[in-house]
Amino acid sequence: MHQLGNDPAIAAIGLGSNLGDSRAILAAAVSALNATAGIQVLARSHWYRTQPIGPPQPDYLNGCALLQTTHSPLSLLDILLTVESQFGRVRTERWGARSLDLDLLLYADQILSTPTLDLPHPRLRERAFVLVPLAEIAPDSIEPVTGLAIADLASRVNWSGIRQCPN
């Protein structure tokens, strides 16, 4: 059973897909999250076509969403992993191709390190494919480790290879 708290928090997630009908999978994943008790999708970025990191594979569609949630960070992570598996995600290769990837990027202003979850996401500050869509929907949100706004972090990364798709 997923843990529900009393006070809602704002969380940012990254979404990605490069197997199957990525656009349909990402849209369905956002809908599935919005239909989950204790989660309301507040905003979603455009989708962006991005070059993969890791082994040779197709380009990704990436985006971000802001959620209002009454779930704890670890409970929200469990929900994200469940949704991934519902859409055929099988973890076989680090940074390999996937039907759906959901990453918990930020949860309010929390800094957290557990064996299964680090907040903010440990590679958030270096990944344009996350920062560009996140800056679209939450430019003034503060990354709690650096104290910098997401828009500032996005301005510091290389945007080459990232192309906004029409919605």
User: Which of the residues 7, 21, 23, 89 is marked catalytic?
Assistant: 89
- Dist CA 163 CA 48 (whole Å): 5
Please state the domain extents for the chain. Answer: 4-164
Tell me, what's the pLDDT at 57?
A: 82
For this structure, is 156 an active site residue? no
Question: Which H helix or E strand runs over 10?
Answer: strand 4-17
Helix (H, G, I), strand (E, B) or coil at 100: coil
Q: Catalytic site residue 89?
A: yes
- Domain spanning 4-164, CATH architecture: 2-Layer Sandwich (3.30)
pTM, 2 dp: 0.91
> For residue 2, what pLDDT is reported?
44
Q: Digits of tens for pLDDT over the chain (167 positions)?
A: 344 556 899 999 999 999 899 999 999 999 999 999 999 999 999 999 998 877 778 899 999 999 999 999 999 999 999 999 888 756 555 555 678 999 999 999 999 999 999 999 999 999 999 999 999 999 999 999 999 999 999 999 998 889 999 86
Judge whether 87 and 29 are in contact, CB under 8 Å: yes
| 123 annotated active-site | no
Q: What is the pLDDT of residue 89?
A: 56
Asked if residue 15 lies in contact with residue 67, where contact means CB atoms within 8 angstroms, the answer is: no
98, 125, 127, 156: the catalytic one is 98
Specify whether 98 is catalytic: yes
The torsion angle over the Cα atoms of residues 27, 10, 63 and 123, rounded to 10 degrees, is -140
